[in-house]
Amino acid sequence: MTKERLYLFDTTLRDGAQTTGIEFSLEDKIAIARLLDGLGVDYVEGGYPGANVVDTAFFSQSRTKAAQFVAFGMTKRAGRSVENDPGIADLINSSADAVCYVSKAWDHQVKLALGISTKENLKSLAESVRAAIDAGKEAFVDCEHFFDGYKANRTYALDCVKTALEAGARWIVLCDTNGGTMPSEIEEIVTDVISLAPGDRLGIHAHDDTGQAVANSLAAVRAGVRQIQGTLNGLGERCGNANLVTLIPSLVLKPVFAERFETGVTAERLETLTHVSRAFDEILNRGPNRQAPYVGASAFATKAGIHASAIAKDPATYEHVKPESVGNERLIMVSQQAGKSNLLTTLKRFGIEMAKDDTRLDKLLRQVKEREARGYSYDGAEASFFMLAHKMLGTLPKFFDVTSYRTAIERRHNAKGEMVTVCEAVVKIDVDGEILMSVAEGNGPINALDLAMRKDLGKYSDRIDDLELVDFKVRILDGGTGAVTRVLIESRDDSGERWFTVGVSPNIIDASFEALYESFTYKLMKTA
């Protein structure tokens, strides 16, 4: 039996940006788009070109290879032509492959929030859709407030769908904007819509305000829609959007869906899901949710002794899917046994081949566990893991040693009576017995340290010229200013490669120094 195709649409960079406390930088957006593209989603919605500096820069070039790149915006304003609407121009002139318009499908909202007639609203919708198609792009329509609109005025809600369909929209997405609809209602209403629009032109956009965004999305698929919108780790306004990281494994692994449908996420890509979810949290600079379905550190953890022994006899007892199918691992709290195979896979990616029964593998595993217990996290810092592995194998070169450093930060009034902050770092570096001392001022202590270190690395100076620190993230692991600090540094060079290193210490400067030192070493190893 041929399977029907389900399309996955990610809106992390658009609706996810509405999450309280989240603000994406351009670098964040580029990194997240790359994660999504690699995972195999079909569409990556990137934001609102023209609305702010970051989004405009993000849409200045294509940001996906496999996935379609989607720009989001409003339909044309009433009272002006499509050609004279600067918002529409920003959308169709962007580097996006597709344009997703938001259009209200609840008559009451059209009048209340837009202050235009319901007829004008439909006219804007149709003309905007055609403008995108004329510009050679796919057009999508997000029917905002669709389910509440349907309950209040079924005819108008369906008119919106019909108008979008007739204007040529590739997808018409039914949005449960305030997130209050129950799965049974979704199923009932979608079944009615399906009677006038084909399911392979319909999508679902659910929010988690009743804790049922995933169930609502799956209910809509059962009723016939073929596109699902959601976000990584359920980011989004209020309680978040449908969590794609939770949805995808159910679609791929659960027989009721897997027997009927296929998605762009192959079984092989599904094995990267836990990594994608955790790498995303690293970008957001937050700890992953241990309890997250499928990918959480506790998702396959067993605490109860009786359960643990039953699992030893038959894992299926308390595991509804195989942990490795989503790149996660079983965690038995009494005898912490971890994933040698994970380790082997990562080493192989770095060009280090080892046999499964190599005793050095056990030693490395113990070191990783021990260091992670102290606060290190190698999930997001593979360059540091690479160096740890080389260290254990005795193949880590020592290019240089920082025998001591000192940083001083002073805030005081200067001679003119202005408050100023002065920051200075002194480093003493040993390169093959040659002692080099350098001093530098910087914007902050870590910047000063970085500048002092690169001022003179002796014979290696040339080789770090194009080393650039791209990002620097700090997490406090226990809470309070006295707790352990984890610093993650992202670096890159002219080859375009990016690498992450990690440092841990109660002292933020020390932790930063450790990550900085490893980044320098990694760069020197690359060019060795």
Shortest Cβ 515–its own copies spacing (Å): 10
Shortest Cβ 352–its own copies spacing (Å): 21
Which of 397, 374, 375 is closest to 386 using CA atoms? 397
Shortest Cβ 301–its own copies spacing (Å): 6
Shortest Cβ 214–its own copies spacing (Å): 4
Shortest Cβ 154–its own copies spacing (Å): 17
Shortest Cβ 78–its own copies spacing (Å): 15
Rounded CA-CA distance 412/511 in Å is 26
| Beta-strand runs (E) in 390-515 | 401-413, 419-431, 434-441, 468-476, 485-492, 498-505
Q: Given the complex with its own copies, which of 358 and 465 has the nearer CB atom?
A: 465
Other CB atoms within 10 Å distance of the CB of residue 108 = 15
Which of 350, 246, 343 is closest to 296 using CA atoms? 246
Q: Given the complex with its own copies, which of 86 and 180 has the nearer CB atom?
A: 180
Q: Given the complex with its own copies, which of 38 and 293 has the nearer CB atom?
A: 293
Q: Given the complex with its own copies, which of 167 and 221 has the nearer CB atom?
A: 221
Q: Given the complex with its own copies, which of 23 and 353 has the nearer CB atom?
A: 23
Q: Given the complex with its own copies, which of 25 and 84 has the nearer CB atom?
A: 25
Q: Given the complex with its own copies, which of 67 and 102 has the nearer CB atom?
A: 102
DSSP secondary structure of 299-360: TTEE-SHHHHHHHHH-GGGT-SS-GGGGT---EESSS----HHHHHHHHHHTT----TT-HH
Shortest Cβ 66–its own copies spacing (Å): 26
Q: How far is CA 468 from CA 173, 282, 338, 361, 511, in A?
A: 42, 20, 35, 33, 18
Rounded CA-CA distance 214/243 in Å is 7
Rounded CA-CA distance 471/474 in Å is 10
Residues 6 or more apart whose CB falls under 8 angstroms from that of 436 comprise: 428, 429, 430, 456, 457, 458
Rounded CA-CA distance 244/255 in Å is 18
Shortest Cβ 329–its own copies spacing (Å): 13
Q: Given the complex with its own copies, which of 35 and 251 has the nearer CB atom?
A: 251
Q: Given the complex with its own copies, which of 438 and 447 has the nearer CB atom?
A: 447
DSSP code at position 199: G
Structure tokens at 317: 């007892």
Other CB atoms within 10 Å distance of the CB of residue 339 = 17
Shortest Cβ 89–its own copies spacing (Å): 19
